[in-house]
């Protein structure tokens, strides 16, 4: 790989306690028990607040569900006495979500970021032989029904950023909905029009 090679794909997940994505002002709040059976219900409750103009609401719901599922599975390890806290807000073109669990944090984050980088490289080159080793991420807590692929989709879907806090038990995500008609102002390369 030459160093001039384009790699604009996501840089992965960063850790930043001071990210504006953690600002909960103006966000709705709900607490959920660590009960996987209620996942679809929790996500519907959250998505319910989105404006009718949102595109692909089913996908939004699915993506929110994966984040909460991760909190229940990997964070709270299915301990029903532990809660999942969720903050969420929607404007006309943006969805924001913060999910916190009572676990001891996503320690494999660095390894995951590396894994993602290699995975994206394989994908870009359409090198599926090699990609076979990078389809599912496994950590010591991965269970059998855990696809190990939810966060790969998440970093693609939440295009406005994915951030963990220092303790790594709180994740903040932001999705910006593209207008149907894309486009940027001329010479707007540095920012968005």
Partner 1 sequence: MELHKRTSGSVHIIDVKGDLDLFNSHKLKESVNELVASNIGGLILNFGQVDYIDSSGVGVLIYSNSLLKSNRTFFHIVQLHGSVRRVIELTKLIGFLPITDTEDAALKQIHGAR
Partner 2 sequence: MEWLFFATKAVVLALSLFFLVSLRVRVQVKALDAIQFLLFWAFARDLLFAVFPQPAILFIGDIGIYAALLVWIRRYTGQRRSDYYWFVAAVVAAGVGIAVEAQPDATVFTVHLTANVVLLGYLLYSTSEISVHNTRDSELIVDSRFVLSSSLIILAAIGTVTAYSGGAIGHSAVLLHYIAIWFVLLTQSQLHHLINELTIASLRRQTENLFEFMEALGGGIADRVDIQRILEMICKSASRTIEADGAIILMVDDVRNTLRVRSMSGFYPPPYAVPEVVKHRSASLHEYVYNTEIPVGETLLGQAVEHGDAIFIPDSTDDERLSENTGRDFLFVQSFIAVPLVVNNRVLGVLSLVRRDPDHQFTDEDFQHVQTFASHASMTIDNFYTYLEAIQHREIQREVNIAADIQGKLLPKEFPRRSGTEIAVYSKSARGVSGDYYDVLELDEDKIGLVVCDVAGKGVPAALVMVMIHSMLRLIASAEREVGDTLTWINRGLSGQIDLDHYATMSYLTINHKVRRLSYSNAAHHPLLIVRDDSDVIEQLDTEGLPVGIERDVVYPQKAVDLHSGDVLVLYTDGIIEAMNLEGEQFSMDRLARVIRENSNEGAQQITDTIQSELDEFVGSARQHDDQTLMVVKIA
Give me the residues that bind partner 2 (CB under 8 A), please.
Answer: 1-2, 4-6, 8-9, 25-28, 37-38, 40-41, 44-45, 47-53, 55, 57, 90, 123-127, 159-160, 176, 178-193
With helix as H, strand as E and coil as C, how does 75-141 read? HCCCCCCCEEEEEEEEECCEEEEEEECCCCCCCCHHHHHHHHHHHHHHHHCCCHHHHHHHCCCCCCC
- Which of the 8 DSSP states describes residue 173? E
The least distance separating partner 2 from the CB of residue 90, rounded to whole angstroms, comes to 7
Interaction with partner 1 in 149-168: which residues (CB under 8 A)? Answer: 149-150, 152-153, 156-157
Reduce the DSSP state of residue 175 to 3 states and report it.
strand
| Residue 15 binding: pick among partner 2, partner 1, none (C-beta 5-8 Å cut-off by kind) | none
Exposed e or buried b per residue across 56-91, where buried means at least 16 C-beta atoms within 10 angstroms of its C-beta? eeeebbbbbbbbbbbbbbbbbeeeeebbbbbbbbbe
Return the number of the residue (24 or 136) whose C-beta is nearest partner 1.
Answer: 136
- Strand-strand pairing, 14-15 and 162-164: parallel
- Determine the Cα–Cα distance for residues 157 and 175; give it in Å rounded to an integer: 7
Contact partner, 178, from partner 1, partner 2, none, Cβ < 5-8 Å per class: partner 2
> Does position 115 bind partner 1 by CB under 8 A?
no
81 binds, among partner 1, partner 2, none (CB under 5 to 8 A by kind): none
**Least gap, CB of 18 to partner 1 (angstroms):** 28
Question: How many residues sit in the footprint of partner 1 (CB under 8 A)?
Answer: 30
Distance, CA of 155 to chain centre: 5
Q: Which is nearest to 18 in space by CA: 177, 161, 176, 175?
A: 161
Which does residue 166 touch among partner 2, partner 1, none (CB within 5 to 8 A, set by kind)? none
The least distance separating partner 1 from the CB of residue 170, rounded to whole angstroms, comes to 20
Pick between residue 105 and residue 148 the one whose CB is nearest to partner 1: 148
Judge contact between 27 and 87, C-beta under 8 A: yes
Judged by the rule CB under 8 A, the positions of this chain that interact with partner 1 are 36-37, 40, 56, 58-59, 62, 65-66, 69, 119-120, 123, 126, 128, 131-132, 135-136, 144-150, 152-153, 156-157
């Amino acid at each position: 790989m030459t160093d001039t090679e384009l790699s604009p794909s996501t840089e992965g997940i960063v850790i930043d306690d001071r990210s504006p994505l953690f600002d909960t002002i103006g966000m709705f709040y709900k607490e959920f028990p660590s009960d996987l059976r209620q996942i679809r219900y929790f996500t519907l409750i959250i998505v319910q607040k989105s404006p009718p103009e949102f595109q692909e609401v089913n996908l939004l719901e699915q993506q929110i569900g994966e984040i909460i599922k991760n909190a229940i599975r990997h964070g709270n390890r299915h301990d029903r006495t532990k809660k999942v806290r969720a903050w969420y807000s929607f404007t006309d073109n943006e969805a924001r979500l913060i999910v916190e669990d009572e676990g001891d944090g996503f320690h494999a984050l660095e390894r995951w970021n590396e894994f993602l980088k290699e995975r994206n490289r394989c994908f870009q080159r359409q090198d599926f032989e090699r990609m076979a080793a990078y389809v599912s991420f496994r950590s010591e807590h991965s269970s059998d029904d855990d696809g190990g692929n939810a966060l790969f989709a998440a970093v693609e879907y939440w295009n406005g950023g994915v951030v963990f806090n220092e303790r790594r038990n709180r994740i903040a995500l932001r999705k910006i909905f593209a207008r149907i008609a894309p486009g940027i102002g001329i010479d707007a390369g540095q920012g968005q029009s």
